[in-house]
Amino acid sequence: MSRDEPAKTAGQGTPAVGRGTWAKVASVVTAAAISAGGWVWLRDHPAQPPPPSLTAPSMTLRALPGEGPDAYAAWPRLAEAGWTRESFFPVGLWFSSARTARQVAADRAMGVNTYLELTADSRPRLLRKAGMTALTTERPPGTGAETVGATLPAKADEWAGIGQSRWSGRTGRAPCRPELSYCGYSVLSASAAKLPRRDGPVYATFGKGVVHQATDPQAGRFVNDYADLIGVDVNWYADKNVCAEAARWRQLPAGQCRLAANYGATVDRVRELDARDGLRRPVFAVISLAGLTPGQVGGAVMSSLIHGARGIVYDPHGPGPRCKSDDLLRSACGAKVRKAVTELNALIERLAPVLNSPSYAYDFAPELDTVLKEHDGAYYLFAMPGRGAATGDHTLTVPANLSPRGRIVDHLTGRPIEVDREGRFTATFATEHAYHVYRITP
């Protein structure tokens, strides 16, 4: 959740309005807090609401850096598979089988377009027929154009630890030599050296070692030295140890642990680390579904998107208290979660051109996590409670150039939103994982 990015002057083509009003605005609006990855963090500097005699503040909307689909253009296999299209946003399954046409069709109907690691008994031709892709080191018979990249061992920062001792080649108990040493870096470097010919990107997932335990230089080495696409997986809702660990390593209060907002904070953490070497890699949010309610899944996904996740990956494995199956999305007891995932993925597909579009900096409400996107002449405001924010009603303030002369609609329900002359409107968040998407037409 870095706010270290220096302010930049809006360049040519940046939507600008009311530059002469800065003197008025300075007394009533706090400058937007911006993360290094370019996503709007709005919780630490509360702004006083403008007095009724003022019109809504007008501000230059400054474009923020970010990775759109052009980030995949360097990889011909991704481009050929459609990853560079504006309408494509990666939605994947972690380590799932694709053995039957029925399995693949069900996954595709759920909105999945990518597999991150396949089982050895999968049939890749089924993916090609369905128009799906895979990043996988396992290369089952029949592997072809559907395989657009490879993967490294997941969460080596956790199970092998932060160090470069010799790796035994095992992933179970005592993987490092000598025993009780740490070899996470060695795991990744040795695995990368064994990958097939590099004709596509390499993907690696990291966990609590990078997010919580490692220093910035240590974590930056994991994120920047081995892979082209980065996934991050911390189960903030169901991991029984995560709250104590976050309190110890990151001084996170216990009351702010089991929140959807932490999924976005986790993406922020990895994006900050990714920026350390001056390069930008797409960061994917991995949502472990075990133990989550449908609402929590939605909040985790939306928080990740607000904070700049460039892909969503669902890990359906691991039994939870509500479902003892090892594949939640293919089990009867996971029907409610599967329905929620299907609806979320449909929303992501519908909003893919928006998610792939530029983001702008503006402080809509200091206690909320928000991001503003622009596409095809309209602006889209994504909003949900930030870490520590109360549920209930919250007041958002929209720039004058976007509100009095335009129209605001709740994009998820189609309901028109009434805005007062100060550019303010009320959003209600019934739970900590609730979210809204508003379409603003100037």
Residue 165 predicted with pLDDT over 50: yes
At residue 18 the predicted structure's pLDDT band, cuts being 50, 70 and 90, is very low
Question: How many angstroms separate the CA atoms of 119 and 111, rounded?
Answer: 20
Domain range 19-66+358-441, CATH architecture: Sandwich (2.60)
At residue 270 the predicted structure's pLDDT band, cuts being 50, 70 and 90, is very high
Q: Within a 13 Å sphere around the CA of 121, how many CA atoms are in the beta-carbon half?
A: 4
**Given this model, what pLDDT does residue 78 score?**
95
Residue 367 predicted with pLDDT over 80: yes
Percent of the chain with pLDDT over 70: 85
Mean pLDDT confidence for 220-241: 97
At residue 399 the predicted structure's pLDDT band, cuts being 50, 70 and 90, is confident
Residue 361 predicted with pLDDT over 90: no
At residue 166 the predicted structure's pLDDT band, cuts being 50, 70 and 90, is very high
**Given this model, what pLDDT does residue 9 score?**
32
**Given this model, what pLDDT does residue 266 score?**
98
**Given this model, what pLDDT does residue 206 score?**
98
**Given this model, what pLDDT does residue 44 score?**
40
- Please check whether residue 230 is in contact with residue 285, taking contact to mean a CB–CB distance below 8 angstroms: no
Lowest mean pLDDT among 66-75, 132-141, 197-206, 330-339: 66-75
Mean pLDDT confidence for 416-423: 88
At residue 313 the predicted structure's pLDDT band, cuts being 50, 70 and 90, is very high
Kindly report, residue by residue over 24-34, the tens digit of the pLDDT.
333 333 333 33
Mean pLDDT confidence for 386-408: 85
**Given this model, what pLDDT does residue 275 score?**
93
At residue 413 the predicted structure's pLDDT band, cuts being 50, 70 and 90, is very high
At residue 51 the predicted structure's pLDDT band, cuts being 50, 70 and 90, is very low
Residue 354 predicted with pLDDT over 90: yes
Which pTM does this prediction carry?
0.85
Average pLDDT, the chain: 86
**Given this model, what pLDDT does residue 40 score?**
37
Lowest mean pLDDT among 5-19, 166-180, 218-232, 307-321: 5-19
Mean pLDDT confidence for 405-434: 92
Residue 37 predicted with pLDDT over 50: no
**Given this model, what pLDDT does residue 3 score?**
35
The tokens for 267 are 């993406």
- Please check whether residue 147 is in contact with residue 139, taking contact to mean a CB–CB distance below 8 angstroms: yes
Residue 248 predicted with pLDDT over 80: yes
69-152+195-355 is classed CATH 2.120.10.30? no
Of residues 442 and 430, the one with the higher pLDDT is 430
Domain ranges of the chain: 19-66+358-441, 69-152+195-355
Percent of the chain with pLDDT over 90: 72
Kindly report, residue by residue over 81-122, the tens digit of the pLDDT.
999 999 999 999 999 999 999 999 999 999 999 999 999 999
